[in-house]
Chain A
Amino acid sequence: MTDTLLSVRNLRVVYPGDDGDFHAVRDVSFTLGRERLGIVGESGSGKSTTGRAIMGLVAAPGRITADEMRLGDLDLTRMNEAGFRKLRGKRIAMVLQDPKYSLDPVMTVGDQIAETHRQHVNAGRKAARHAALEMLEAVQIRDPERVYGLYPHQVSGGMGQRVMIAMMLIAGPDILIADEPTSALDVTVQTQVLAIMDNLVRSRGMGLILVSHNLHLVSSFCDRVLVMYAGRVLETCAAGDLANAKHPYTRGLLAALPELGHRRAELPQLQRDPAWLEGPL
């Protein structure tokens, strides 16, 4: 990690509720360089909320506070909504789980990509179309001219997700946040989509945050992994060392996974320790 793209210190996201505040993210700190960082955890552990908070996408009455949240030379803690809007797409982009819901159903996929381009770059219609076609080719869509004119319901899940990646990368962001980018896809297509994303992110020298509940995927795809539980980062380790994780929570999760070729009569169930919620890290 030579240079830091993003640094976050003590990020907190709080949703006020009738029975007191709900702390979705509690004192999360990490830095991201030109690398692939994985965030794993169960549902409700705050992994998606962390990704959204970086993009300023926490809806009121939720509140984001942080001691430091810095993207290059920009201080995100002082950013207002207009500032974030300029930032999204241009500096940080996000790929969500299901392309069916994240693409506009009444606009051709090509026009959606071109629109993103024009939003951030001062380009004419023709230039934007050209850029969109190039981007479709970059995500390995075989016949970009044809796909450009298709509507989201006419493309498969894997193709939809590639369109999504094309749209997110066209403005040349520094950071891509991928929130469960392949969970809605067929197992055999997942690897392909990940490989395309990986190639583009590497060749452009971007930072990638992969949010996923899939431990196998994260440990084989990422460079570093953050393990989250109840809004806190319990453990950070090199992705290759995830199998040797120290924290009992991570170990419990790994043990609970059924394994091919290692059949056990009973899977060990995760015993949650209340101390994980508090205690020093």
Chain B
Amino acid sequence: MIVLEHASVYYGAGSKRVAAVRDVSLRVAEGEAFGLVGESGSGKSTVLRAIAGLIPHAQGVVRLAGHDMGARRPTESRRMAQMVFQDPYGSLHPNQTVDQTLSMPIAIHKLGDADRRVPAALAEVGLGREHRFRYPHQLSGGQRQRVAIARALILQPRILLLDEPTSALDVSVQAEILNLLTRLRRELGLTMLMVSHDLAVIAHLCERIGVMSGGELLETTTANALAAGNVSHPYTQALLRSNQGFDASGVTG
């Protein structure tokens, strides 16, 4: 469903050019959930953005559902991959109601029938009709993230790109959102690519996990191997340790 072949993404030009993603290859099968972990600046969010078409990739191939993605994408292929961002307070327009937020993509993609689609999308993420005409500030953090997911789902994408979808949420709300994502994946057969700092969260949702550092994909492992502590790369090991809480013995200098 998602294929990257030797994909690279650069920011800036000339002497200031930075390779944010270098020569990354990965494939995600239809209906699979793939996780990306790595430190800040490792390029994991950039990979998501390149797949979503928010930034052009400079080299290599990005192929979604068998179609090569060029620098300019037709509206139809943009519809296929939709993204959910970390902080729903930042990603929802504060001056637009939930109804406006959800109607916008329908208008852009000329799907029509907004009056049926909007309540259906809200129901899908567990929100009621009463939330339809509210503004983001009238919703809780968990409800806002549900709206952001509904915004992505309303276009009936086949790929859902999740950039730290629960890290701005409380533990109890995180559980609700993770359960929602599990259910949506099962019911809609979505392919998911998720970025997170939290290994437990990513291992909960994803079968295969890629570890990134310095713009490169260091290794690809499975949730089970991770749980067994069976990882080869030093960075992955460090990540695994810090996810198990505070341990002063593991700290040097």
Contacts and interface: CB of A to CB of B under 8 A. Distances in A.
A246 interface: no
A262 B226 CA distance: 11
A103 to B, nearest CB: 18
Interface in B115-151: 141
Interface in B215-253: 223, 226-228, 235, 238-248, 250-251, 253
Given A187-B39, A188-B39, A188-B238, A261 B250 contact: no
A94 B239 CA distance: 28
B203 A258 contact: yes
Nearest to B245: A220
Interface in B198-212: 198-201, 203-204
A194 B248 CA distance: 8
A261 B228 contact: yes
Nearest to A190: B242
A148 interface: no
B242 A195 contact: no
A191 B247 contact: yes
Interface in B139-183: 141, 170-172, 174-176, 178-179, 182
Interface residues of B, number: 38
Contact of A43 (B141, B182, B239, B248): B141
B247 A268 contact: no
A190 B199 CA distance: 15
A155 interface: no
B245 A217 contact: yes
B174 A256 contact: yes
B197 interface: yes
B203 A263 contact: yes
Given A42-B172, A191-B247, A267 B178 contact: yes
A266 B204 contact: no
Contacts of B182: 265-266
Interface string A32-67: 000000000011000000000000000000000000
B59 interface: no
A194 B246 contact: yes
Contact of A187 (B170, B171, B223, B242): B242
Contact of B172 (A220, A221, A270): A270
Residue among A188, A217, A253, A265 with the highest chain B CB neighbour number at 10 A: A188
Nearest first, the 8 closest Cβ-Cβ pairs linking A and B are A261-B227, A220-B245, A258-B204, A256-B175, A270-B172, A221-B246, A267-B175, A42-B170
18 contacts: A42-B172, A43-B170, A140-B253, A187-B239, A187-B242, A190-B242, A191-B241, A191-B251, A195-B251, A216-B243, A216-B245, A220-B246, A257-B200, A258-B200, A259-B204, A260-B226, A261-B228, A267-B204
Interface of B: 39-40, 141, 170-172, 174-176, 178-179, 182, 197-201, 203-204, 223, 226-228, 235, 238-248, 250-251, 253
Given A42-B171, A215-B171, 10 more contacts: A191-B250, A253-B171, A257-B171, A258-B178, A258-B198, A259-B200, A260-B203, A260-B226, A267-B179, A270-B175
